[in-house]
Structures are given as structure tokens and as C-alpha cells.
Amino acid sequence: MDNDDFYERAFSRNRGLISDAEQQTLNNTRVAIPGMGGMGGVHAATLARAGIGKFTIADFDQFDVHNINRQYGAMNSTVGKDKVQVMADIILDINPTAEVKIINEAIGPENCDDFLDGVDVMLDALDVFIIDARRLLYKKSQQRGIPVISAGPLGYSAVVNVFAADGMSFDEFFDLNDSMSDKEMMVSFFAGMPLGPHMKYMETNDIDSVTGAAPSLGLACQLAAGMACTEVVKYVLGRPKTKPVPWFRQFDPYARYYKQHYRWLGGKNPLFKFKKRLIKKMVPRLV
């Protein structure tokens, strides 16, 4: 079976939701995903099964046993293996016609431009405690006209932010600037997340930016990936787009809750300073 026949048969069940012409558009789309852990792996697999044909993925880490509860590529057989290579193999096993560019190192000033070359949309899957590389990627993406979609688990729920290339920046939404310390940035980043129904059932005292510890569930990662990858497909196919930040959405099936939020002025919202003080009390190990 040649590549064209394989691709056609592999994604034929998308019809009725995605037309033949749209499927070819997805096949020609390149998505960049920094981070192949809790969110990045499930993003990659979800998009591969939708028929996205080109990927640029990056990670410097190897799978460990404590990743198994939530990370798509983490299994007994992959412990100790490079995350980026494991996920590249999974993408190609789903779709052997795909093109996968891998960067087996952390993203920084030296390789950021290479990572974003030829990219149509980026899915932010960096660890929640990584700030400098995240700020750099968002800035470079906006300069290149690349939209960024961010999704992450919060308890049993998922939160999705869409950053349009011509819209509010990452730094504006989270009120970040170069004069802030790493801890100040972390508090501001956490304050930018919604205080939704997950706060009623999630323990936050043990969240630790030093060790990288935070409560997380694989089912919430799956939920976040479904929401985020839907936004990728909508953007690529020119479907009606979700409102970008300062709009953002949270869905919590555990609490039977869905809400679209609007943070007027982003990080300059008058209530944002209050949220920062609240986060310092709720997550003491951030400070």
C-alpha cells in the first residue's frame, strides 16, 4: 500500500466531520509541541489520529516511573527512554506517512527559531513550572504570526487558552515582565489560572516549584488534549474560531461545570493583584 492509499484509508472515518479537501489541509499542516510529558504526548497522539501530517516536537527528558499516571508515552517498557524519541515512534506508528522533526533538548534562545521554522500552530505543553522558555516561545511565535494554544489539567478539569498572533500577548495576559524574579513570575502565572470548582476538591499545599510536584491525573490530560486539539483543527480549517485571550475556558466534568471566562485587561485587571496574594496563601511552596 502506498502512502496516499494508507493515509486515505487511515483517516476515512473522519468523513462527515472533515471533508477530503480539509483532510489534505491537515496532512500539510505542521504543529509544534514543546514538551512530550503529561500534555505533549497526548496532544501529539490526538493530532496524529486526526491526520495532522507534520510535527516538530521537543523534549530533553527521559520517562520515569512517576510519569506513568498521566504521560501518554510512559510505560514500563519506556522507562529510561528519551521522551521525544518514544513519542516520535508513536506518531509514526499511527501514521507512517507523517513527517516528524525532533529536538532532543530543552528549548532556549539557541534553538527556538529552528523549532518554530515552518510551523503553522504551536501547542504549549511545557511543564507548568517552566517560565523563561515559555515566554520566549510565545514571543517568537507572535513575531512569526503563529497562534499558540495552551491547555492543561486542573484537578479533574481542563483549562484552554488561545493566543492569537495579533492578540493579547502571553506576558500581558499573565502580567509578566523582565524585572520580576522567577518566584514572582510563577505566582503571577498561577494567578492567571481560574479559581474554578477544582479548588473545592484539590489539595494545593504540596505544589512545589522546586521539585516539580503537582497533583495531576491522566484523564484530565486527555480532556485538555481533546479541547486543545479541537482548537487546532478549527484554526487550520478556518472554522469559526474560539475567542482568544483574555477569554478562556474551563470544563470540569467531575463538578459538572463549564464556563467561558473573560479577564478584562488580562494581567492588568484590578482583581489580578488580589489573586496573586491569594495564590501565595494557597500555594505556599511557590514562594
- H or E, element range at 46: helix 40-50
**Number of domains observed in the structure of the chain:** 1
pLDDT tens digits in sequence order for the chain, 287 residues long: 788 899 999 999 999 999 999 999 999 999 999 999 999 999 999 999 999 999 999 999 999 999 999 999 999 999 999 999 999 999 999 999 999 999 999 999 999 999 999 999 999 999 999 999 999 999 999 999 999 999 999 999 999 999 999 999 999 999 999 999 999 999 999 999 999 999 999 988 778 777 777 888 999 999 999 999 999 999 999 998 789 999 999 999 999 999 999 999 999 999 999 999 999 888 887 76
The model's pTM is 0.95
Phi-psi domain of 35 (left: phi exceeds 0; alpha: psi -120 through 50; beta: other): left
- H or E, element range at 34: strand 30-34
Which residues are within 8 A (CB) of 82 and not within 5 positions of it... i.e. 6 or more apart?
59, 61, 62, 104
- H or E, element range at 261: strand 257-262
Residue 287 pLDDT: 64
Residue 235 pLDDT: 96
Range of the domain at 282: 3-286
Residue 215 pLDDT: 85
Dist CA 100 CA 78 (whole Å):
19
Residue 29 pLDDT: 98
Three-state DSSP at 143 gives: helix
- H or E, element range at 249: strand 247-252
Q: Which grid coordinates belong to 179?
A: 524585572
Residue 214 pLDDT: 82
Residue 286 dihedral angles phi and psi, to the nearest 5°: -75, -25
Domain at 201, CATH number: 3.40.50.720
